[in-house]
Amino acid sequence: MSGELISTVGGKVPQRAIRHLDQLPYAASYELEENNTLLGVDFGGSASTYILQSHPTKRTKWIEALVYKISENFAGTTKSSIDCGDGSDADGFGYTDDFVDAEMTTSLSKHFSSANGSINEGALGAIIEAGDIVTMTCNAAVTGPTGIGRVSVTFLYFD
């Protein structure tokens, strides 16, 4: 059964396939928050870094980032971004396109994806090895944009 597609009959997974479900790829999302009083990330200050532990036995790829429920419009002379790295290279696994102010107001949200090319591959490659430490850095631009929003990042786990 390994390596074959699992098909369903009438919406049910066949009994013979259940033991193979843990071999399928799956996605997991993580919310990035600065503290218990601010739900989200303040991009108007200095860069905020969040440390995640990748799965101990599966490889990983960063596939999506979403900035949503924006509570303070993004503005400034330079833009913000999100990086994914290993602690020594902040954007080693990938980085988002810069945030465009017009797309980052309280009435909108911004979606980044490896599928549409708005998450760019880093110098270390896009694949994160099993058990690696992953750092997510929400970058405030040097000339200080304003902007507060909820941030969710999604990873695909696979063998």
49-62 pLDDT tens trace? 999 999 999 999 99
Question: What predicted TM-score, i.e. pTM, was given to this entire model?
Answer: 0.86
Please tell me which residue, 75 or 123, carries the higher pLDDT value. 123
Buried-exposed string 98-115: b where 16+ CB fall within 10 A, e elsewhere? ebebeebeeeeebebebe
How is residue 38 written in tokens?
Answer: 């601010």
User: What architecture is domain 25-158?
Assistant: Sandwich (2.60)
Number of H helices, E strands in the chain: 1, 11
Among all chains, which residue has been given the structure tokens 């200080």? 144
Domains of the chain, by residue range, sit at 25-158
Tell me: the pLDDT tens digits for 58-99? 999 999 999 999 988 888 777 889 999 998 999 999 999 988
* Stretch (H or E) spanning 15: helix 15-18
Residue 5 has pLDDT above 70, yes or no: no
* Stretch (H or E) spanning 17: helix 15-18
Per the prediction, the chain carries an average pLDDT of: 86
